[in-house]
Homo-oligomer: A and B are copies of this chain.
Amino acid sequence: MIKYLKTVHVFICAILITLSAAAQEHPSLILTKEGVEKIRAELGSVPLFDASLKKLKAEIDAEIALGIDTPIPKDYSGGYTHVRHKRNMIVMQQAGVLYQILDDEKYAKYVKDMLMQYEGIYKTLPLHPKTRSYARGKLFWQCLNDSNWLVYVSQAYDCVYNYLSAAERKKLEKNLFRPFADHISVDSPQFYQRVHNHSTWGNAAVGMIGLVMNDKELIDRALYGIPDLEMDKTAKDDDGGFINKEGKAGFLANIEEPFSPDGYYNEGPYYQRYAMYPFLIFAEGLHNVKPELKIFEYKDGVLLKSINALLNLSDADGDFFPLNDGQKGMSYYNDALVTAVDISYYFGNQDPGLLSIAEKQNKVLLDDSGLAVALGVKNGKAKPFDKKSINLSDGPNGKQGGVGILRSDDLELVFKYAAQGSSHGHYDKLSYSFYENGNEVLQDYGLARFVNIEQKGGGNYLKENKTWAKQTIAHNTLVQNEKSHYQGKFDIGSKHHPNLYLFDDSNADVQIVSAIETNAYPGTKMHRTMAIIKDDAFEKPFMLDILSVKSDSTNQYDLPFYFMGQVLNTNFEYEVPKTLEPLGSDNGYQHLWSEGCGSTTEENTKLSWLDKGKFYTLTSATSKEDELRFVRIGANDPLFNLRREAGFIIRRKDTQNTLFVSAIEAHGSYSPVSESAVNSNSSISALKIVLDTADYTAISITTVKGTTKLFIIANTNASKEATHTLKINDKNYEWSGSYYFK
């Protein structure tokens, strides 16, 4: 009976498609008939657009000259068949665009011929022979890549739709597009029916081909997920993430869930960049074909907000901060960001700052939005995209922690107090990274993977991503008893998140962010306050880090500093071992070589280092019981998957409640050309904890010139309006607001 109904349903749909297809204009998805006319009218007069077009034409002409190859699928990422099919999808999409803009049939014919070759092989294709994925594709080893393919090829199909005969279209839809869409959705619900960046691609793929085919069933499946599907709520994917714990699915749910109201994407900027393309390109399609949905206004306009958030999650060079699983070097030069910037400009409110990024990208989309951007640039409207300090909440309602970025001159502090971040999250509550002018001063390691480099585990996640990169000790945050936060367990981590205590960038000279975490280690409360302070006594702004730990048990605390560069000097004695041993045996510690160990009798521990011609100094308030440890990443790394970078750990044993206070200064410079070292010494002569109570923590900072500054943070009242009076060493301090600095 069900089978019978399904057949009828398919039959009716087929009729509907046939009827309405005749009525729909093409192209209508990304390019529109009207837009194409406008573009053709402007050709030759808008430099950035013309240059993008010229470059694309040269590329595609070269591809056409090479001939078409649609090999039988065989390889993982990086292998020939993978790379070829990936390239084909892009080439088809671009050839389609060229056909529309240049009105040259050779491009349409090329798309048609390639589509027909795919039609020829697809109908008999088995599952991809590589078995590693939880959801195998047919052209690729995972449905994710098949979905990528369909997102691009839908656009190509739309562009050549009218060039094809009705019979050709029917053949393609019946043997290629419809079964393709079904394979990545109804046949692969563990991939499709969830809230995850993978599924977003799947939803967009199904939806976009649905829009071109005017197939309401596919469009609805895209927007709302597979109807009436019961999923196993406890199942997990390859990465350890729940497949569908909440039962939510579809494109709208995928907008709803991962984006906070500020536009922060819960997996972090690297995956946001990846997910961005299907979000925006499908949204553009929906906007054009189904304007009544008002997709760009959905959830208070979160899609466009998310672009602004993403751009702000990049350093001075435009590289995204590698929060969670992020590969370093990914930046706003990625094509997905060309899409994002152009769409944001066109469908948003024409922010001239976006034009300066488009200028740097030196590329626009070959559609209405790209034309608008190129015209804006041509008309001299571009202004610098001014990245300021920003606090981005996490969670669907903005109530699950967040990421606070403090910017002061060339320095950027990225403080992460976000939620778990789906299956790509790291166990690094209250961690941070620190940048000077786009260079890492204290790094976030990022992921352990060489994306698409076949020689390194097929280009996929390496074992060390789990054993090292995700672990707490791999980050600049507190580790208790050599265990990771939430026991390094995804299901525990997913239940909790830190809470913002305070974010205040209203005073450009003293910017501050503070958050509290109580669940990473049950019974232990961590409260970390980080500030960037600009003061005349210092050449550049310095960073102040106050980490208060209160526990109901006695523990060992490790606070690592993954400084980038070479040790310059220390103010303490240390021993380097004759042989190197791993620092521990588990939770990431097995990957650290113990490279040196010391202790200090000074009031402060100082470590200076040099990197890329800049000097940096850590000054930390320590005691003679503290162990000071140098470490090097790379132990138990049998395939040299990890970078041999340095770290420094302050270890405090047998302690219940404690306070870690550190300052990081960026200072001076060294040029190997002039061989002159400028301001190579720290400006801090003493960093002291002068008070630490439940309500207040006060730190004094004395400079080498003898001036002393006092920083007080109110620990239990973050109100801007609250007034405080406090006596320290017989002196009264009165102020209003959460902190005092003078």
Contact = CB atoms under 8 A, between A and B. Distances in A.
A214 to B, nearest CB: 33
Interface stretch (A331-339, A466-474, A656-664, A717-725): A331-339
Interface string A73-109: 0000010000100000000000000000000000000
Interface stretch (A189-197, A538-546, A554-562, A564-572): A564-572
Contacts of A646: 644
A494 interface: no
A217 B677 CA distance: 38
B576 A675 contact: no
A122 interface: no
Nearest 8 A-B pairs (CB), nearest first? A329-B672, A567-B640, A580-B580, A455-B569, A451-B675, A455-B568, A453-B677, A333-B673
A104 B602 CA distance: 53
Contacts of A456: 568-569
Contacts of A335: 674
Contacts of A644: 632, 644, 646
B330 A675 contact: yes
A230 to B, nearest CB: 36
Interface of A: 78, 83, 327-331, 333-335, 450-456, 459, 566-569, 575-576, 578-582, 593, 595-596, 608, 610, 630, 632, 634, 636-640, 643-644, 646, 670-677, 680-681
B638 A576 contact: yes
A680 B640 CA distance: 17
Contact of A452 (B459, B576, B632, B675): B675
A28 to B, nearest CB: 29
Contacts of A674: 334-335
A327 B672 contact: yes
A673 B566 contact: no
B450 A610 contact: yes
Contacts of A638: 575-576
A606 to B, nearest CB: 11
Given A579-B581, A580-B593, A581-B579, A566 B330 contact: no
A319 to B, nearest CB: 9
Contacts of A455: 568-569, 608, 680-681
Contact of A676 (B452, B673, B677): B452
A566 B639 contact: no
Given A610-B450, A632-B644, A78 B677 contact: yes
B580 A329 contact: no
Contact of A673 (B334, B630, B670, B680): B334
13 contacts: A327-B672, A328-B672, A329-B672, A330-B672, A455-B568, A455-B681, A456-B568, A456-B569, A576-B636, A576-B637, A578-B636, A579-B580, A580-B593
Given A333-B673, A334-B674, A566 B680 contact: no
